[in-house]
Amino acid sequence: MGERMTGGVLPGTVDLVILKALAERPLHGFGISRLLRRQSGGVVELQDAALYQALHRMARQGLLESEWGTSESNRRAKFYRLTPSGRKQLAREEQSFRTYVDGVLRILSPEGGRA
């Protein structure tokens, strides 16, 4: 039945949800996971490996910066924040996803997208 959700995230949306999680403030990996789970009502859950692979990849692409700090549990943690390029990428991905979802919702509507 097409692409399946893996790790609680629709394929192709990992970067989008991570960028969105970092839009307001820097967070460490566990903080990103916790925020996504809480904001989605438990629907969006990233496996640790997928999260950290995406964070490292996006940092290499210049979308994120990181620095070491102290977490709320007083542990050393790497905090990630968006760069200006990351903010632009978030805007592009968010618009593209909204357009896609709108199209799918039209197809799923009782009228089936018929005009």
Fill in the DSSP letter of residue 41: T
pLDDT tens for 54-96 read 999 999 999 999 999 999 899 999 999 999 999 999 999 999 9
Confidence check: pLDDT of 106 > 80: yes
pLDDT tens for 8-28 read 678 789 999 999 999 999 999
The full set of domains in the chain, from first to last, is: 14-108 (1.10.10.10)
Write down the pTM of the prediction: 0.86
Distance CA 77, CA 74 (A): 9
Using the structure block, give the residue that is written with the tokens 């789970």: 37
